[in-house]
Structures are given as C-alpha cells and as structure tokens.
Structure 1
Amino acid sequence: MSDELWEAHADWWIEGFTDGADPEYVEQILPLAADELAGARRVLDIGCGDGQIARLAASQGSTVVGVDPTWNCVSVAEDRGGGPAYARAGAASLPFASGSFDAATACLVFEHIDEVDAAIAEVARVLEPGGRFCFFLNHPILQAPGSSWIDDHMVDPPEQYWRLGPYLVETETTEQVELGVWIRFIHRPMSRYVNALAANGLTIERMVEPAPPPGFLERAPGYADSAAFPRLLYLRLRKS
C-alpha cells in the first residue's frame, strides 16, 4: 500500500521538494549531504526519489547508484541525468553484492519502510568494512502521532507549545499532506533505529539535530516558534 501511494503521489514530492522548491532541502539537507558524502568513491542512494542527492554526490566525483521502489521517481531521476545510474528496488532487498559501496545514504525514507530491520541489515551488507551510512530522518518528535503546535488561550497570557504524542509507541499513520494527497508514515522512537543499526555493526560517529533553516521559518509567521524544535535528525554511522 505504501508503494502504491508513493506511485500515485510521486508528482507531489517531485514538485514540492526537489529542484530548489523546498528550503529545507536547499538550505539544510543538501549542504549537509555534500559535506558528509565528500570523498566517497562508490555511493548508494536508497530511496533516491528524483535523484537530487545522487546527482549531488556524482557532482563531487563519486560513482553513484540510486534505487527507489517507485517507477515514477526512477523515470524522473533518469530524465534529470547528472551522472548516477538508477534502478527500481526496495531497501529491504538491495540488488547488489556485499561490500559494493563505501558510502550509502537514505534521506527521509526509513519512516516509510515497513521492513526496517531487513532494510538496515541490507545497508550493512552492501557497505564495505569501514563504510559510512549517512542517515536522514524526519525527527521522531515531529512524527509521533498527535504531535502538533497547541495555542493555549486558557492561560493569561496565552501560550503556544509543542504537544508530543505517544512517542514510545511504534505507530503507522496515513496522513493527508495536501488536499487529495495521502502518504503513509511509520513513527518509531529513536532507540528503535539506533539499536537496530548497532545490531548490524553500524555505530554512530555523528548526530545532528539542526534548527529549521531560515527559509522554512520565513514561510509563515507562526513558524518562528519552531526554531527551538528540530525537524530533522541526521546520523553518520560507520560499519565496523
């Protein structure tokens, strides 16, 4: 069902989050990816979408392969070119030999994957010893079901605060992200990912919880209060 939704709504993602359309990618994700993938020889971009991170890595001299389970995304990535090769594949069954890459990346992908343990095991398998995994997630405090900004007018003066939903419960939701566009998310607490990564020999070297970038905060007056809450979680992991 998740793949069917992405197939149906790939245009929503491509039009709204690629090719300079999204300030969080332009100002935050892509610069961080450029730094973290610098010097990699062979890069695998898992859930590559239209290929914007794959193209970025290729522009830095890496040999890059992007995979995505969605035909619509793979076809757009191929049309946009830029050097990478692309294939249709899911994260839980990567069509590559063990140790094929010295770097892998997944950007805002694993919160849509059911078979998270199998997918993490596959990342570890296709990395060579000492290889790096550049792992971007929507921050779990953002994804916990029921989390939202609350305007509390029952107190004087009124207060606005972030309500955190049931963080420790692993939960699947299908959200209407735009009129007529439904996308499936799976919330997992941070420990769920970290323990699965560690169990597969992937250890954390760096963790980043950046404040939302200026371009995002400027999109609406109410977003200024978001500056103290991370929307992104980034982990750099190393295969032992």
Structure 2
Amino acid sequence: MSNGWEESASAWIAAQGERGDFGREHVLDPVIMERVSGKLFERALDVGCGEGRFCRALKLKGIHVVGIDPTEELISHARQRDPDGDYRIGGAESLPFAAESFDLVVSYLTLLDIDDFRAALAEMTRVLKPGGTLLIANLNSFITSCSSGWITDQDGNCLYYPVDRYLEEFPEWVEWSGIRVKNWHRPLASYMKELLAQGLTLTFFDEPQPQSRDDPEREARYRRAPWFLVMEWRLPQNSP
C-alpha cells in the first residue's frame, strides 16, 4: 500500500523550495548545522533525503554526501538540482552499503515515515563507522500523538495541543499544502529503547525553539508546543 509520497512528490518539491519550510529553516537547521560544523566529517549518508535539500547543505560544509530515498520523483529532482551529487533510490530498512561506510548518518524528519523503524535504525547503525555519529531530527512524540492539531476557540485562537493514545504506535494520514502522506506516531521511549539497544550513546538532545523574529505568531506556537526534537548518538569505538 502506498504511503502517499509518490503521489505527493510534486507538491512537496514546490512547498520546500531551496530553504525548506519554516520548521526546517528556522527551527531545525540552525541546531543541526551547529552539530555538523567543525566536526571534520568526511562521508555522510542522508537517509530519506527527499529532494536533496539537506544533502546540498552538507556539501557546502565540504562533506561527501550520499542521499537515499525510496521516492523516484524526489531522487530525480535531487539529481537535477545537483548533477554532481550521489543520489540513490532505496529504503532505510535495507541500505545498499557496506558496514562501517559512513562517519555521519543523518535522519532528518524521516523516522516518522518509516513503517519498520527498528530495522531502519539497525541499518543506520550497521553502516556507521565506530566513533561515528547518528544525527536524528524527528517530530516530537507529543505532536504526532494527535495529528488533528491545535484546539482553537471560535475566533481561531490556539487554546492547547491535545495528546491522545501517546503510549501506542500507530500510523495516521496527514495533509497540508497539497501533500497527503502516512506518518507514524510512536512514544519517545520506543525510539530511545531501540537506539540504546543498538549500542549507541546519546551525546546531545534538544527540543529546539525558532531562531527567527519574522513571524511572531507562528514562532509563539512553536514555543508553546515542543514540535521537534534533535538527538545525536555516537557509536563507540569498541562497538562489536
């Protein structure tokens, strides 16, 4: 069964542009790029690279990047935008790379799209070099537990963001800007337990706030509810 990405690819490309949406540009990018800058990464894998925006950003840091995504139209667009780049069609659950191939693996808002996230995390760990970094950005589980969004009053003012079925794991279809895709809700504990089971060590965690003053109303909403999280995990040098 389709997860909606093939049907939504054109709308996604149009919505993202080169800078990404508000959440990427003003909330996640500043934190993630700070985690990457000055770390002397040589070879990175962007799992679920989509149209290649973040791959291009990493290339500007002098990192050799491989992008992989199962959606053919998104990979085709990435190749058009970056003809010298390395973009491949494939899924996170079975990465076509040898073990210990990358010193940086990035999952930038992709775990919520993956049906078998446990297999995907095992694969991301497998291709990571000892001492390497797995950098994850994801929707906060409080947010994915209720995709219907803010509860508002009769004037449209945001009252609160509801949380429901938090401890379950379930998919929901979400729609915006002509995009309709299947996203997974999972409690944060599901991700944490699996990452720890892979032998990874948590070295950074944040629920970032907007770093912009251009849209006060939107920024206020991002501060009222923890929309995103960023985690940095390291594979120990002595990992089996």
Taking structure 2 as the reference length, the TM-score comes to 0.88
Instruction: State whether residues 146 and 165 of structure 1, in contact with CA within 8 Å, keep that contact through their aligned partners in structure 2.
Output: no
- Inter-CA distance 32–185: structure 2 relative to 1 (3 Å threshold): same
3-state DSSP class of the match of 1:13? helix
State how many pairs are aligned.
232
Letter in 2 for 1:164: V
- Inter-CA distance 17–31: structure 2 relative to 1 (3 Å threshold): same
Question: What is the aligned partner in structure 1 of residue 6 from structure 2?
Answer: 7
Letter in 2 for 1:165: D
C-alpha displacement at 1:87, in angstroms?
A: 0.5
C-alpha displacement at 1:30, in angstroms?
A: 2.4
Instruction: State whether residues 58 and 82 of structure 1, in contact with CA within 8 Å, keep that contact through their aligned partners in structure 2.
Output: no
How do residues 53-64 of structure 1 correspond to structure 2 at under 5 angstroms? 53-64=54-65
How do residues 1-240 of structure 1 correspond to structure 2 at under 5 angstroms? 1-3=1-3, 5-38=4-37, 39-81=40-82, 83-145=84-146, 148-151=149-152, 160-178=159-177, 181-214=179-212, 217-218=215-216, 221=217, 224-240=220-236
Residues of 1 paired with 2:198 and 2:213: CA distance? Answer: 37
Instruction: State whether residues 43 and 103 of structure 2, in contact with CA within 8 Å, keep that contact through their aligned partners in structure 1.
Output: yes
- With 54-63 and 65-74 compared, the bigger mean Cα shift is at 54-63
C-alpha displacement at 1:32, in angstroms?
A: 2.4
Instruction: State whether residues 167 and 186 of structure 2, in contact with CA within 8 Å, keep that contact through their aligned partners in structure 1.
Output: yes
- Inter-CA distance 92–12: structure 2 relative to 1 (3 Å threshold): same
- With 80-89 and 193-202 compared, the bigger mean Cα shift is at 80-89
Residues of 2 paired with 1:210 and 1:76: CA distance? Answer: 29
Larger RCO (CA under 8 A, 6+ residues apart): 2
Aligned residues with identical type, % of pairs: 32
C-alpha displacement at 1:225, in angstroms?
A: 4.2
C-alpha displacement at 1:185, in angstroms?
A: 0.7
- Inter-CA distance 139–215: structure 2 relative to 1 (3 Å threshold): farther
Which consecutive residues of structure 2, in runs of 5 or more, have no partner in the other structure?
none
3-state DSSP class of the match of 2:165? coil
- With 160-169 and 132-141 compared, the bigger mean Cα shift is at 160-169
Instruction: State whether residues 26 and 211 of structure 2, in contact with CA within 8 Å, keep that contact through their aligned partners in structure 1.
Output: yes
Question: Deviation per CA, 1:167-207, whole angstroms, max 9, x where unpaired?
Answer: 1111111123345x321011000010011011111221100
- Inter-CA distance 29–2: structure 2 relative to 1 (3 Å threshold): farther
Letter in 2 for 1:173: E
Moved over 6 A (4+): none
Letter in 2 for 1:116: F
Question: Deviation per CA, 1:123-143, whole angstroms, max 9, x where unpaired?
Answer: 000001010011010111111
- Inter-CA distance 235–52: structure 2 relative to 1 (3 Å threshold): same
C-alpha displacement at 1:229, in angstroms?
A: 1.6
Residues of 2 paired with 1:177 and 1:128: CA distance? Answer: 38
3-state DSSP class of the match of 2:33? helix
Instruction: State whether residues 213 and 219 of structure 2, in contact with CA within 8 Å, keep that contact through their aligned partners in structure 1.
Output: no
Instruction: State whether residues 147 and 165 of structure 1, in contact with CA within 8 Å, keep that contact through their aligned partners in structure 2.
Output: no
C-alpha displacement at 1:100, in angstroms?
A: 0.3
- Inter-CA distance 54–226: structure 2 relative to 1 (3 Å threshold): closer
Which consecutive residues of structure 1, in runs of 5 or more, have no partner in the other structure?
none
- Inter-CA distance 216–96: structure 2 relative to 1 (3 Å threshold): farther
Question: Deviation per CA, 1:66-97, whole angstroms, max 9, x where unpaired?
Answer: 00000001011111117531100100000000
